[in-house]
Chains A and B, each alone.
Chain A
């Protein structure tokens, strides 16, 4: 059934049951996101796709469109700034050094930083020491860059047993990403590549992939994350 909703004052048709974040993209309205992937279950961890729905702030990846929904994405500066703040939080919480990171140019956090016009984080940088883990054969685990999106935890499982290869240890600000070396060593090259590709930052690096393309000619260097998100939905 087709319904109508309003985004930033413009009436938009949509199919009932669709996710707001996808409907917006289909109509050329890009909402930044770092944990959501179209077609996959929503994780709701990064909150970067937050918008205002009927007066309440909510992540648009969790919202199913409804008739007469009134959505604000860009028309209120506070809402735009909230999304920017959330991206800034991620930069100040971890240790993100784009110039020395293998993921530069294909990093979703980096390119989202550009999209939300971030210059520097308004929050104090923590510089928390985090241990790297290079023990597994296929993966470099650079914990400095983890944003706890849970994509790897949820979507990358051991093919045989369905067990988690990646997991979170501890809670709150002491959380850290773990890799099960035994299971990781059983990963096929394709699965290791997949894990590296779904990581929105340079935390999971495929050891066979390093610097295969020069920075400047990479995915988001050629076409921005925004254009890609909008293109995919056309």
Chain B
């Protein structure tokens, strides 16, 4: 065992539930996770070698073989493909001197693609060594690569004014906040956190929960579970200890509002978590931060430390008997970890596979203890609910969707960015507000949500009972190829399926292949019927939200834009499917026969 590996193991007390952190440290030390490193880790953690590899091979950003010192991850999302992805792709290949998914001749650089990285309002973008470069142009890329090749680090290149890594200025060198419209709940400046905490600790935990229940706030991650009820169940749950987890995995393509909250109101989030800890009786919180947001980590740690220094975190907070502290858990690239039970598995150092439910996290979550998992936005909103009152919050929005929420707007509009909207706003109103000209479709809630037709759905309202929205709001105008977008979304789901259950693992591949068949003009009516029945199968039988929503891009566009499918169909003639190319099959047969004859000779 090398000294470095021993140091890393010691840092985490050789605790295998911290395997994610351990693997990250190993990768940052050696550029990749080698077989030798894994053997040492396995020995130090009492795991089999392949058990360590179960985790390290699950995540997109863990590198398990020597693949260059620096990987350049170009963001591949439908939005980036609308905004210059192709030209950036080409210029990267030219400047680096190798094709994608390969390492250049010097062994320094690798080119790879990555799914939506939470910067849809500033595409095209690329991630290199824990920083992000946004609003790329071919010229900008050429300049960045030139500097990299001169030996400058990605961090130094992005950090134009040499800001300290734990400052907001440093993050701004990576990415803009782009808040287009504020509102009553979020991004408030100069809040008196100490007063809020002191006032809260003067109340009973049950009163805090009552306030959240009165606000009627529903979880902002997308599922919309009433947060007050979750806290109530958390308080009532029996366990040796309890945990509060903030889901900052923001993986749904098209959403980036959690990133902006982490940048602009990190302390609102921390306060929400502390109040959660006080309300349910938990001494410890974890922020699960997606690896794509690594450039926020130092800043966030600084905010946590500030709170410790002020006595808002730690032992006996503000002289009370309440203890609470927070750590950051880095993800490593996995969409499915947005599912709360997959996220908990990941926090425990394992593959991010969703658990069988029940038991729910509220009963047995992190390390088997009752655990509250809430979204970043939920915690930030709750910090305001406790300050201003549940009734204040409930007075906004609609009956079933109270308060306001943040929209991450991207795509074909003049002002993409963050908008705080009151629930109940019409789709058309949002489109007008963001300057969308000739919009045709809006992908609400990302690929897992629904594709709305502006013509048919313009008057519908954004709320849980109508157009439910998790924050992702991608606009496509009349020039966009909807079928191409569906294709990208299905590729995304195939890529991100964890593989634990058969309908999602196999079904998404079959759906993707069929979408390709439609695109190629080789599908017939029967294929569309298969979409419906196979889609229902995935929705009904998959283990988690990924498989139960992954047919949505197909099913919702078939409903809203049937013509894009119909015009591609061909008629069935004879007993063979139109997708079956008999000439090709015959040629393959002849070829194989020839080869056999060669062997026979």
Q: Which residues of A does B touch, CB under 8 Å? A: 42-47, 50, 57, 59, 62, 64, 82, 85-86, 89-90, 92-93, 123-124, 126, 147-148, 150, 158, 161-165, 167-175, 178-180, 183
Contact = CB atoms under 8 A, between A and B. Distances in A.
Nearest to B56: A169
Contacts of B267: none
Nearest to B42: A163
Could you say which of B48, B58, B496, B498 has the most chain A C-beta atoms within 10 Å of its C-beta?
A: B48
Nearest to A170: B57
Interface string B46-57: 111111011001
Contacts of A173: 494, 497, 499, 505-506, 508-509
Contacts of B534: 85, 123
A174 B498 CA distance: 9
Contacts of B509: 126, 173
Interface in B265-307: none
Contacts of A45: 500-502, 543
Nearest to B502: A89
Contact of A175 (B48, B499, B508, B510): B499
A172 B351 contact: no
A169 B505 contact: no
Interface string B468-509: 000000000000000000000000001111111111011111
A157 B54 CA distance: 15
A147 B506 CA distance: 11
A37 to B, nearest CB: 14
**Do most interface residues of chain B lie in helix, strand or loop, or is the interface mixed?**
helix
A158 B540 CA distance: 37
Given A42-B356, A82-B537, A148 B53 contact: no
Contacts of A148: 499-500, 502, 505
A86 B48 contact: no
Nearest to A94: B506
Contacts of A164: 47-48, 50-51, 54
Given A93-B505, A175-B505, A43 B541 contact: no
Given A47-B503, A124-B513, A170-B57, 10 more contacts: A44-B356, A59-B541, A148-B502, A163-B51, A164-B47, A169-B54, A172-B498, A173-B508, A179-B50, A180-B49
A62 B356 contact: yes
B542 interface: yes
B357 interface: yes
Given A124-B510, A167-B50, A82 B499 contact: no
A45 B505 CA distance: 10
Could you say which of A42, A44, A172, A174 has the most chain B C-beta atoms within 10 Å of its C-beta?
A: A172
Contacts of B50: 164, 167, 169, 178-180
Given A50-B540, A57-B540, A164-B50, A169 B57 contact: yes
Interface string B518-562: 000000000000000010010011110000000000000000000
Nearest to A44: B356
Q: Which 6 A-B pairs have the closest CB atoms?
A: A57-B540, A44-B356, A167-B50, A163-B48, A175-B499, A172-B497
23 contacts: A44-B501, A44-B543, A45-B501, A57-B541, A62-B357, A62-B358, A64-B358, A82-B537, A93-B506, A123-B506, A124-B513, A126-B509, A148-B499, A148-B505, A158-B48, A163-B48, A169-B53, A169-B54, A170-B57, A171-B334, A173-B494, A173-B505, A180-B48
A126 B502 CA distance: 14
Contacts of B357: 62
Contacts of B334: 171
A50 B53 contact: no
Given A57-B541, A161-B46, A171 B501 contact: no
Contact of B506 (A82, A92, A171, A180): A92
Nearest to A123: B510
B83 to A, nearest CB: 28
Contacts of B541: 47, 50, 57, 59, 82, 86
Given A171-B497, A178-B53, A47 B502 contact: yes
Nearest to B497: A172
A102 to B, nearest CB: 23
Contact of A167 (B54, B494, B505, B540): B54
A183 B502 contact: no
B38 to A, nearest CB: 12
A53 B540 CA distance: 12
Interface in B299-338: 334
Nearest to B59: A171
A92 B534 CA distance: 14
Nearest to A149: B502
A208 B506 CA distance: 33
Contacts of A165: 48
Contact of A172 (B499, B510, B513, B537): B499
Nearest to A122: B530
Contact of A43 (B47, B356, B506, B542): B356
B54 A168 contact: yes
Nearest to B504: A172
A127 to B, nearest CB: 13
A148 to B, nearest CB: 7
A148 B498 CA distance: 12
Contacts of B537: 82, 85-86
Contacts of B498: 171-172
B164 to A, nearest CB: 37
B158 to A, nearest CB: 30
A6 B497 CA distance: 35
Could you say which of B57, B351, B495 has the most chain A C-beta atoms within 10 Å of its C-beta?
A: B57
Contacts of A93: 502, 505-506
Nearest to B355: A44
Nearest to B507: A89
Contact of B58 (A46, A89, A158, A170): A170
B342 to A, nearest CB: 11
Interface in B62-109: none
A96 to B, nearest CB: 13
A168 B497 contact: no
A62 B358 CA distance: 7
B292 to A, nearest CB: 17
A64 B508 CA distance: 29
A174 B57 CA distance: 10
B600 to A, nearest CB: 22
A21 to B, nearest CB: 13
A172 B503 contact: no
A170 B33 CA distance: 14
A195 to B, nearest CB: 14
B53 A167 contact: yes
A46 to B, nearest CB: 6
A172 B496 contact: yes
A47 B542 contact: yes
Interface in B24-52: 46-51
Contacts of A46: 501-502
A90 B57 contact: no
A147 B54 CA distance: 17
Contacts of A123: 506, 510, 534
Nearest to A173: B509
A37 B401 CA distance: 43
Given A62-B358, A164-B48, A164-B51, A172 B495 contact: yes
Given A47-B543, A173-B497, A163 B358 contact: no
B534 to A, nearest CB: 8
Contacts of A158: 48
